[in-house]
Structure 1
């Protein structure tokens, strides 16, 4: 965290579900006395580990999770709070009313939806507008150059063409998790390497291997790496985006930081995503 902060990074993604992550961030901020310089996104209302398929999105769960998050983070507010999952059986009105109360209280500055289907996000924002409540300020699905064959985790949502088109029209910021597709573009995986069953099930497809091939070509031209190209794909969309990264060491962190400086043209983004057979050279 120190290295990331020294490099200019100031935003940390965490969640109630991430075991001791909030506690570690809170202790770090307290020891460095830098809370005013840090932006925190935490998430709540994830199912408990013992019952992963039992939704727990409710006004009481929202309030309880935020209270515990603030305690663990050793702060009185978070800049960003997202619902980690959805429960389509709960009316959006009750959810948006509860989130609005948290914004009004000052415990949360901005609210978002993680792993919500587009129709639910639109319904929730429509309700909020009609009732003069805070709308969702951001969306946080998976968005990556590699497209998933199935959800990587239960009840997770990846941005499809319709969701991307909506973001382009609405300009609602998208904060992507698994932005580098679990390291698919790192060089650790090949079509004949099927040791990692999850990666095979989620990402192995002819289309994704073609995306990887094109990322290699573009990386060579720009003197970077394929995984840096994959991250720059997320950051060079036609609407505001941010990418959640999970570096395991300083080298991976430095690679991701460098990727933020890569500029891709619209033609290059579409070519990487197999929307063009040939790139337009300029």
Structure 2
């Protein structure tokens, strides 16, 4: 396993992280235990979840809410592996029907963090992430809440998710005014088919020393390649989106064949070649999927391969040069 610093922090995380969103939904508890056991064996030390994961993300559903954290908590208690992992979770999504059971108010963050700690059966969260930007709550209030949680030993680092570049900049400047470390990571949608964050978000992350954690590295399975005797994974479900990318996908899969690696390996290896990426989220439902993600660490893409990937999947360029002289 390869490790990298989480942004500018001193914390080392595995370059491939385990995404636990499927636990309790697509992946049952016993299989989730097996996946987590194997992750530790492979050297994966970054486990990512959210308070809302584990089932339908609606507070009026009777089951599934908080299940991913509960499964991880029971595994931590059974395995005794708490000190072997960097545990990350998130808050923002609705966790109840009340008006304050969501978003990033100090009121909600305190209660959301304490509820996550109970479900995870631990006394601290290593990386506490804002699951989405909340422009109705000032960052002065958010950082006050985070500072209190840090002082109480309930969280160690703070990250963001699904922020725009100017959200990162605003958050970081407000944190610096309070003499806080601020954000160490940003978790965003990023893969070969969707490179929009290269325009403004990634430049902001580089400027402030915030590490990138890409989610959906395989573009909901679009980049997973072909299974023998089947169409490309999830192509039928992707419908018009696959049709729009059909020519690119054919060219991409032909390139992967020339390189001698599966499309899934190349897609994840491309992310691992980006210096801004601290760790990528492998949302593995099974041990096999986890092992395939880790295998991407062994893929080396030379300059020609990277240039060809840019030709097939061009990025937007960096602002403002991408749209102005």
Shift of 1:247: 1.8
Counterpart in the other structure of 1:153? none
Distance 1:246 1:48 in 2: 22
CA–CA separation in structure 1 for the residues paired with 2:89 and 2:168: 19
What is the match of residue 17 of structure 2?
Answer: none
Give 4+ residue runs of structure 1 displaced > 6 Å after superposition: 49-52
Which of 74, 92, 102 matches 2:121? Answer: 74
Q: Deviations over 1:153-208 (max 9, x none)?
A: xxxxx6242212333444421111112111111235979x9641xx346x4364x4
Partner of 2:217: 179
The whole-number CA distance in structure 2 between the counterparts of 1:12 and 1:105 is 22
Cα shift at 1:267: 5.2
1:22-61 superposed matches below 5 A: 22-48=69-95, 56-61=103-108
- Per the alignment, residue 297 of structure 2 pairs with 260
TM-score by length of 1: 0.82
CA distance in 1, matches of 2:284, 2:51: 20
* Alpha-carbon separation, structure 1, partners of 2:181 and 2:301: 34
2:52 is matched with which residue? 17
Give, in whole Å, the separation in 2 of the partners of 1:243 and 1:30. Answer: 26
Structure 1 residue 100 corresponds to structure 2 residue 186? no
Unmatched 5+ stretches in structure 1: 149-157, 278-282
Gaps spanning 5+ residues in structure 2: where? Answer: 1-35, 54-65, 315-325
Distance in 2 between the 1:204 and 1:218 partners?
18
Structure 2: distance between partners of 1:136 and 1:85: 13
Q: Which residue of 2 aligns with 1:204?
A: 242
Shift of 1:73: 0.7
**RMSD value, Cα:** 2.8
1:127-138 alignment runs, 5 A limit = 127-138=174-185
Q: Which has the higher contact order (CA 8 A, sep 6+)?
A: 2
Q: What TM-score do you get using the length of structure 2 for normalisation?
A: 0.72
Give the conservation status (yes or no) of the 8 Å contact 1:177–1:243.
yes
Match of 2:298, SS state, is coil
2:312 and 2:176 map into 1 onto residues whose CA distance is 35
Assess if the C-alpha contact under 8 Å between 2:225 and 2:253 holds in 1.
Answer: no
Q: Which of 117, 126, 130 in structure 1 is aligned with 2:173?
A: 126
- Contact residue 143 and residue 176 of structure 1 kept, 8 A: yes
Instruction: Deviation per CA, 1:116-170: give whole Å up to 9, x if none.
Output: 222111001001112212311111111111128xxxxxxxxx6242212333444
What's 1:145 paired with?
192
Q: In structure 2, do the counterparts of structure 1 residues 214 and 172 end up closer, same or farther at CA, with 3 Å as the change threshold?
A: farther
